Amino acid sequence: MKSRILYIVLIASMLLGLAACGGGGGGSKKTYTYKDMVVGFIQTGSEGGWRAANTASFKETAEQLGINLKFYDAQNKLENQLSAFRNFIADKEVNVIILAALETTGWEDVLKEAQKAGKVVVLEDRRIDAPEDLYATYIGSDFAEEGRKSADEMCKLLEGSASKNVVELVGNVGSSAAKDRGQGFREKMGACGINIVKSQTANWDATEGKAVMEAWLKETTDIQGVFAQNDEMGLGAAQAIKEAGLDPGDDIKILTVDATAGAFKAMVAGDINTVVECNPLLAPQVYEAALKVLNGQEVPKWIPSQEGVFYAKDAETILPTRKY
């Protein structure tokens, strides 16, 4: 009898052991690799050199890592971004959605739908106003810091000037980049007595930047500096200053943000004085963070990009080393 009980206890403990270590098929967790990633990437559209470099970074890095990238260009239309988001949620293949948000608002519903569908959502480049638990992480610049740096550098450019009237060319007004750069600039401009005498959107665009600057110059030439929130608008302003018979970079100082090749060439030509960097080459960090989240690892809610400031005097030397 005793041996019978011992036999039953032995069998029972073996079965329990098997179940515990998943030997009975109790779901051992899958480890994802980049080759398992199917990414739905929603880009803003194309507004110039920065965006082209950002898109190239995601396409080239996906190729290198063996990621299946489904790229969508929203043509700078918010409604296109929202419909693409829902299409990627419905796409059974897609396990990661990456968004470069045109605007900071309007995202909560789709983010909740994505969460319900078990999709990993990573924000790249542009931050949004939504509860942090609705997305995995935001990888992009500290735009407010770029604005503060811009004001500090404009103070240096206008040092000793009797007047410090600055005009501001603003990006897409709903975007985090435009809002935060403007806010950061205003935090620090008082330190040296800068007045923003004109401020208007030129939607990141060179042609619009030229048109806005032309109109301002028709009203007044008592302008000592241009704060252009990206390179393209600064290049447009330089053209308008030239056509008004003035010398950009000398009569009117110009500071821009991004540090694309076009801005470096303009610094070499003496048309732009200073450029605050905004790094577009974000794909490696974004894909790495997405893979960690797919594998159930924690990532910080914001991974800021590292960025510098460049000056006309150094532009010729640095230009050949730049990737975009």
CB 45 within 8 A of CB 76: yes
Report 210-249 residues binding ligand GZL (CB under 6 A): 230
CB 224 within 8 A of CB 165: yes
Binder of ligand GZL out of 139, 177, 263, 283 (CB under 6 A): 177
Cβ-based nearer residue to ligand GZL, 153 or 294:
153
* CB of 151 vs ligand GZL, minimal distance in Å: 16
Cβ-based nearer residue to ligand GZL, 55 or 224:
55
* CB of 273 vs ligand GZL, minimal distance in Å: 18
Cβ-based nearer residue to ligand GZL, 89 or 259:
259
Cβ-based nearer residue to ligand GZL, 141 or 274:
141
Cβ-based nearer residue to ligand GZL, 48 or 224:
48
Binder of ligand GZL out of 51, 149, 164, 179 (CB under 6 A): 51
The residues, ordered by sequence, that sit 6+ positions from 166 with a Cβ below 8 Å of its Cβ are 154, 158, 189, 194, 195, 196, 197, 223, 224, 225, 226, 227
Residue 225: strand pairing partners: 166, 253
Interface with ligand GZL, residue 53, by CB under 6 A? no
Cα gap 171→203, rounded to integer Å: 4
Interface with ligand GZL, residue 141, by CB under 6 A? yes
CB 98 within 8 A of CB 169: no
Interface with ligand GZL, residue 135, by CB under 6 A? no
Binder of ligand GZL out of 212, 267, 278, 312 (CB under 6 A): 278
Stretch of 43-51, 149-157, 218-226, 265-273 contacting ligand GZL, by CB under 6 A: 43-51
Cα gap 239→257, rounded to integer Å: 17
DSSP state of 218: H
Interface with ligand GZL, residue 258, by CB under 6 A? yes
Cα gap 45→73, rounded to integer Å: 5
Interface with ligand GZL, residue 205, by CB under 6 A? no
3-state helix, strand, coil in the chain (%, to 5): 45, 20, 35
Cβ-based nearer residue to ligand GZL, 140 or 147:
140
Cα gap 249→195, rounded to integer Å: 19
Q: Is the dihedral of CA 274, 278, 280, 281 positive or negative?
A: positive
Interface with ligand GZL, residue 103, by CB under 6 A? no
Specify whether the backbone of 48 is left (phi greater than 0), alpha (psi in -120 to 50) or beta: left
Q: How many residues bind ligand GZL (CB under 6 A)?
A: 15
DSSP state of 129: S
Interface with ligand GZL, residue 142, by CB under 6 A? no
* CB of 171 vs ligand GZL, minimal distance in Å: 6
Interface with ligand GZL, residue 34, by CB under 6 A? no
Cβ-based nearer residue to ligand GZL, 169 or 240:
169
